[in-house]
Chains A and B, each alone.
Chain A
Amino acid sequence: MKLRTFPQGVFLSPAKELTAHRSIVEIGSPPKVVLPLWQHTGAPLEPLVKRGDVVKKGQKVADVEAFIAAPLHASISGKVTAIEEWWHPSMGKFRAIVIENDGQEEVERREPLPKDIENLDSLFLRKWIREGGMVGLGGAAFPTHVKVSPPAGKIIDTVILNGAECEPYLTCDHRVMVERPDTVLLGLRILVRACGAKRAYIGIEENKEECLTLFAKLVKYMSIPTEVVPLATKYPQGSEKQIILAILGREVPPGGLPLDVGVVVNNVQTASAIGRMAEEGMPLVERVITVSGECIQTPGNLEVPLGTVLEGIVAFCGGFVKTPQKIIMGGPMTGIAQSSLQVPVIKGTSGFLFFSRPYEKKEYPCIRCGRCVDGCPMFLLPYHLARLAEFQAFLEAEEHRVLDCMECGVCSYVCPAGIPLTQFIKLAKAEIIRRKKGGVTR
C-alpha cells in the first residue's frame, strides 16, 4: 500500500487504543444544556429566543446576518431559563443560552432531502447546509456553507473528506467512519453537489485500517468518482493544507484558502452530520466526541447533545479514577486546557482528555538543534520566529512569514530544550493581526 503524505511533520505516539474499539454510545438528553453564542469561526450569534421561551429540539435559537456564521439550534426540548455569561471552552466566559430539559422530547424536524441529490440546485443546498447550522466538526468549526460557496471566478473541482484524525487520543472520527459510513458518503455527495466539484477523495491515516478497507469497498457505488487515499500516520496529516498537498500535490498559497487551489476539505464527521440531516431532517444538535486519558473511569466515544456540560459527561463515564491535573478540550497537540467542569460541548469539541500529569518539560536554552525547522510542515524557522516574538520584533517576524504558521504545535513538541515555541509564535501572530486591524480581535 503506497502511503501519501506531506513533507516534514512529526511521528507521534497515537495513544488511540484506549477508545478506538469502543462503539459510539448516546448519552441521551441531559437535564440542562448551555449553548454559547460563539460556536464557530466567524461572527458571534444573536439569540432568537428569550428567557422563559419554550423550545423544541431542532428549533433555531440563535443566528446572525453575517455570511461567516452558522445558526444554532436547541439540542433538547425545554425552557430557556437564562441567557447569561457561562464558561466557554476557548473564550473563558461567553454569553450562552441555558435550556432546562422539560422531558417532553418535542422535536422540530425539517423535510428530509430528496434522494436524487445530483439533481438538486447547489445554491439551494448551500442555504440548506447553512440552515442546518453545519460547521467543520474537526475542531476549527468553520461554517461549512462558506467553504462550499466559491467566490465568483473560482472553480472547485475536488472535495476532500478528511478522515486523517492525526491528533493522538481522538477516535471519534474513526468510530463515525466505521459505524456510519453510508451517512458519511451521503454527506459527501451533498457537499460535492453543493460546491459543484467533479470528484472526491477520502483521506484516512493507515492506522485506521478497518476504515480504509470499508470505504474502499463502498466508494465503488458512488455516483461521482471517489477515491480512498491511505495516508501516512504523521502529524499534522489532518491539517487542511497538508492533506491537500498529500492527496493532490497542490500547495495552498500563503494567506490563501483551499478554494484557491480548487479544493474543499471537510471532516468526515461534518459529512456524517450533513448526511444525517438529509435523512432525518434534524440540524446539527449533537456530535460524537472522544473522552479519554488515564484519569477517566470508562473512556469512550460518546454522542452528546451540544451544550452538554462536561460535569455530566464525566459522571456518565463513571467519574475519575485519578485526580486530573490537566483537562483538555480537543487533542493534546492543539486542544485547549480547561479550568472548569462547567464548560459545555460546542460544535468544535472533538473530545475531552483527562491527564493526571501536566506533561511539562524542563526548559533549557535553545541549543540550535534544528528539530523545529525540520519538523515545521509550513517550512518556517520556528526558533527564529519565537526569538523575534520574544524581542517583540513583530515587523521582522512578519517578514519571516510568521503568519503562515497554523499553530500545529510540532515545534514545541519536538524541542529538546522545552521552549514554548508555538506560544511565542502565537503571540507574534496575534499582535501583528491586532495592529493590522487597529483593534483587539480574536
Chain B
Amino acid sequence: MSVEFKTVLTPPPHVKSALDVPQVMTHVFLALLPATFWGMAFFGYRLTLGPIVLSLLSCLGFEALDCFLFRKPLSLGDRSALVTGLLLGLSFPPGVPFWLPIVGGGTAIILGKQMFGGLGQNIFNPALVGRAVLFLSWPGLMSTYVVRNVWTLSKSGEVVSSLWEVVTTATPLGISKMQGYQALAHLEPRILWRLFWGTVPGCIGEISAFLLLCGFAYLLWRKIVRWDIPVFYFLGIALVAVLARQNPLYHLLAGSAILGGCFMATDYTTSPMTPKGRMIFGFFAGMITGMIRWLGGYQEGVTFGILIMNAVVPFLDRLLPRRFGVKKI
C-alpha cells in the first residue's frame, strides 16, 4: 500500500471546543437586543435609533481607523467593537445630540481599548470609559432625561416636542437623591413594578430590569458568563442600601445596576480570572456603586463603581487558587 499524503503535526489536544471569540461577542450582543428594542419602543425610535446606530458605527469606525493608522491587521472580525458600541449606545439618555455618540465611541475604542494594546489588553471597560468621559465632559447633556409625557414621574417637566409630547424629566434615582425614596414612593406607589418592566425615564438600555435579566439568563444558559460577579455585585449594592436604610430592591432595579452588573462588570477582560477574585470584585463594585448613590454627589454610581474595581483587577488576579494536594487550612 503506497498512499501518498501529508499529515498535520500539531501538539495535543487535537480537538478544540466550538466556541470562539466572535461567537462570544455575538452572544453578548444578542443578549442585549431585547432591552435595546424595548428602549427604542418606549422612548420612540426618533430619539434612540440615532445614538445607538451612531455609537455602533463610531466604535467600528474608530477601531478600523486605529488599525489602519498603526498598521495593524484589521481586528473588526473579533466583533468586540460591536459589543462596546451597543453597550455605549444603551448608556445614552434618549435624544442626545448626534456628535455625542461619535465622540463617545472614539473615546471608548481609542482611549479605552486600543491604547492598551487592543482586545484583551485593556484595564478598564471601554464602554464605561466612553460613558465616564462623556459624563464628566458634558454632564448636562448626559443627564438630561426626556420621556413621553404620560410616563413622567415629576410634574416639573419642560415640553421638548409637542408632536411627541416629550418632556424633560427626572429619573427615579434623581428624585430619590433630591427628595428621598419615601417621596418617590409617594409620587408613584408602583415604582418597583415600573422599574421592573421598564416604564420609567432613564438611559435607553437600562430601564427594563426584566428584559435585561432575560438577556442575562440567555448568557447563563449559553455558558458565556458566570453568575458570580452579578450576584456579588447586587449583594454589595443591597448591603449599602440596607446600611443607608433605603429599599435594597429599589436600588437593584433603579438606574443601570442590572445593565452594569450583568453586562459591564462581567466583561471578561476587565474582571478577575479566579472565582475568589470575581467575588471580591463584584461585591466591592456593588458597594462603591451604592456608596456613590448614598453619599456621593452623583445620583448614579454604576459607572465609577465598576471602573474603580477594574483598576484593582490586576491585583485580584494575584490571588492564586488553592494548590491541588495541599490541604485547606
Contact = CB atoms under 8 A, between A and B. Distances in A.
Given A254-B325, A326-B8, A379-B324, A355 B3 contact: no
Contact of A359 (B5, B15, B78, B327): B15
Contacts of B272: 370
Interface residues of A, number: 69
Contacts of A314: 1
A91 to B, nearest CB: 14
B324 A334 contact: no
A355 B5 CA distance: 13
Nearest to B278: A370
A229 to B, nearest CB: 20
A332 B15 contact: yes
Interface stretch (A211-219, A281-289, A414-422): A414-422
Interface string A124-156: 000000000000000000000000000000000
Interface stretch (B17-25, B243-251, B297-305): B17-25
A241 B326 CA distance: 13
A333 B8 contact: no
Contact of B11 (A12, A369, A378, A423): A423
Contacts of A336: 12
Q: Looking at chain B's contact residues, is the secondary structure mostly helix, strand, loop, or mixed?
A: loop
Nearest to B274: A373
A141 B10 CA distance: 22
B269 A368 contact: yes
Interface in B258-293: 268-269, 271-275, 278
Interface string A405-440: 001010011111110101100100000000000000
Given A367-B119, A370-B268, A383-B273, A333 B326 contact: no
Given A358-B8, A365-B118, A378-B324, A417 B20 contact: yes
Interface string A330-373: 10111111110100000000000101001111101111111001
Interface stretch (B56-64, B150-158, B315-323): B315-323
Contacts of A328: 12, 14
B161 interface: no
A102 interface: no
A367 to B, nearest CB: 5
B268 to A, nearest CB: 4
Nearest to A404: B324
B1 A315 contact: yes
A17 B5 CA distance: 27
A317 B321 CA distance: 47
Contact of B8 (A325, A341, A383): A325
Interface residues of B, number: 43
B324 A323 contact: no
B21 A364 contact: yes
B140 interface: no
Interface in B197-221: none
Interface in A166-216: 168
Contact of A369 (B14, B268, B274): B268
Contact of B269 (A361, A367, A401): A367
Given A251-B324, A253-B326, A381-B321, A368 B268 contact: yes
Nearest to A326: B8
Contacts of B323: 254, 379, 401, 404
Given A320-B3, A365-B120, A418-B20, A400 B15 contact: no
A413 B24 contact: no
Nearest to B25: A367
Contacts of A335: 12, 14
A367 B12 contact: no
Contacts of A326: 7-8, 10, 14
17 contacts: A251-B325, A326-B14, A328-B14, A332-B12, A333-B12, A337-B8, A355-B14, A359-B15, A368-B271, A369-B24, A379-B322, A401-B320, A412-B13, A413-B17, A415-B17, A418-B20, A422-B12
Given A256-B325, A332-B12, A379-B323, 20 more contacts: A251-B326, A314-B1, A315-B1, A324-B5, A325-B5, A326-B14, A333-B15, A337-B12, A341-B3, A353-B14, A361-B16, A364-B120, A366-B120, A368-B269, A407-B12, A412-B16, A413-B16, A414-B17, A416-B21, A420-B11
Interface of B: 1, 3, 5, 7-17, 19-21, 23-24, 78, 80, 118-121, 226, 268-269, 271-275, 278, 317, 320-327
Query: Which 10 pairs across A and B sit closest by C-beta, in order of nearness?
Result: A409-B13, A358-B8, A253-B325, A364-B21, A365-B120, A369-B268, A379-B321, A251-B325, A332-B14, A333-B13
